[in-house]
């Protein structure tokens, strides 16, 4: 039987803000097995303690939010915790989350210098496992390499299943940029996408921010996004 949904209302991270974030909007590349596993977790076909690591821009946040959103849409109870913002909240917000079907904890490295948060997260991890629920944790670092002071927490991270997101190659970046353009209601040609990748930082997050800036400039100038137009912007 599913638990009472009122527990979710105590959590400041709701799913209404995720909007277009789901599994279908994630370009999977070589991460097909990870997406399958997250679908299994979201549907509660089996409980899991999963650790996802990968460099910035590989889609960790997208996947955690999509997993929570899918669980919520089928009336399971989930919470997304962005530890990048942990200084805005008291670790007591984790109290009682072990009763939820799913908890997704993003950016674990941001509490590497906070023992109180590490202790509370260890308790949450134990509660989730004891209740046969699921927890998905993400970080830019592997469990063995992350700077976690509390050995009890680090040992639990190593025990669970670990999945490293494979970063996108240039062809996949082009596909992602074109999809982002479609979401913003404009068309991006292969040539323009290739130009962006070769001219600017190859970090995907940076490329998407650049694409947003170019989109705003094209709307203001009422011009189509072409290589000559981009060259004018950066000249």
Say if residue 177 is in the same domain as residue 191: yes
The 10s digit of each residue's pLDDT in 213-231 is 999 999 999 999 999 999 9
Reported as a pLDDT band with limits 50, 70 and 90, residue 19 is low
Consecutive H or E run containing 162: strand 161-164
Please, where are the H alpha helices in the chain? Answer: 32-42, 60-73, 115-130, 151-159, 170-183, 190-199, 204-221, 227-234
For residues 8-36, average pLDDT:
67
Output the six-digit token pair for 57.
């821009």
| Pair 80, 68: CB distance under 8 Å | yes
Confidence bin at 204 (pLDDT 50/70/90): confident
Q: pTM here?
A: 0.79
Domain match, 174 and 119 both? no
Q: Residue 136 is part of a domain; what is its CATH number? A: 3.40.50.300
Place of tokens 């509370």: 120
Q: Point out the domain boundary residue: 123, 147, 164.
A: 164
- Asked if 136 and 189 sit in the same domain, the reply is no
Regarding whether 45 and 146 lie in a shared domain, the answer is: yes
Q: Give the integer Cα–Cα distance in Å for 72 and 15.
A: 8
Mean pLDDT of 199-209: 83
Shared domain for 131 and 208, answered yes or no, is no
Cβ–Cβ < 8 Å for 148, 157 = yes
Structural domain ending residue among the three candidates 129, 145, 164 = 164
Mean pLDDT of 93-110: 95
Quick one: 87 and 192 in the same domain?
Answer: no
CA 235 – CA 230 distance, rounded (Å):
9
pLDDT surpassing 80 at residue 169: yes
Residue 11 has pLDDT above 80, yes or no: no
What per-residue confidence (pLDDT) applies to 21? 80
12 has pLDDT over 90:
no
Domain-ending residue, one of 137, 164, 191: 164
The alpha carbon of 133 is separated from its chain's Cα centroid by a whole number of angstroms, namely: 20
Burial 156-183 (b: 16+ CB within 10 A, else e): bbeebeebebebbeeebbbbbbbebbee
Closest by CA to 148, choosing from 104, 105, 92, 110, is: 110
Mean pLDDT on 55-75: 91
How many distinct structural domains can be found in the chain? 2
Do 199 and 153 fall into the same domain? no
The pLDDT value given to residue 18: 53
Residue 210's pLDDT band (cuts 50, 70, 90):
very high
On whether both 149 and 63 belong to a single domain, the answer is yes
Assess contact for 42 and 118: CB atoms under 8 A: no
pLDDT at 64 exceeding the cut of 90: yes
- Do residues 78 and 192 share a domain? no
- Over residues 115-167, the pLDDT tens digits come to 999 999 999 999 999 999 999 999 999 999 999 999 999 999 998 899 999 88
Mean pLDDT of the chain: 87
Please give the residue range of the domain that contains residue 219: 170-234
Residues 61 and 95 in one domain: yes
Percent of the chain with pLDDT over 90: 65
């Amino acid at each position: 039987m599913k638990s009472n949904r009122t527990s979710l209302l105590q959590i400041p991270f709701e799913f209404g803000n995720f909007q277009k974030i789901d599994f279908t909007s994630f370009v999977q590349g070589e991460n097909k097995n990870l997406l399958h596993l997250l679908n299994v977790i979201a549907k509660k076909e089996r409980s899991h303690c999963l650790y996802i690591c990968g460099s910035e821009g590989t889609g960790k946040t997208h996947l955690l939010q999509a997993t929570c959103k899918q669980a919520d849409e089928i009336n399971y109870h989930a919470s997304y915790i962005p530890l990048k913002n942990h200084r805005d909240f008291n670790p007591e917000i984790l109290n009682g989350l072990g009763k939820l079907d799913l908890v997704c904890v993003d950016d674990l490295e941001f509490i590497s210098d906070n023992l109180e948060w590490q202790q509370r997260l260890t308790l949450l991890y134990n509660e989730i496992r004891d209740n046969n629920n699921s927890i998905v944790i993400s970080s830019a670092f592997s469990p063995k390499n992350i700077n976690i002071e509390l050995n009890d927490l680090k040992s639990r991270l190593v025990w669970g299943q670990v999945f490293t997101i494979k970063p996108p190659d240039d062809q996949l970046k082009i596909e992602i940029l074109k999809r982002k353009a479609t979401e913003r209601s404009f068309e991006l040609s292969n040539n323009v996408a290739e130009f962006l990748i070769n001219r600017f930082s190859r970090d995907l997050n940076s490329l998407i921010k650049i694409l947003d800036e170019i989109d705003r400039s094209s709307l203001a100038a009422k011009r189509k996004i072409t290589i000559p137009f981009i060259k004018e912007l950066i000249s």
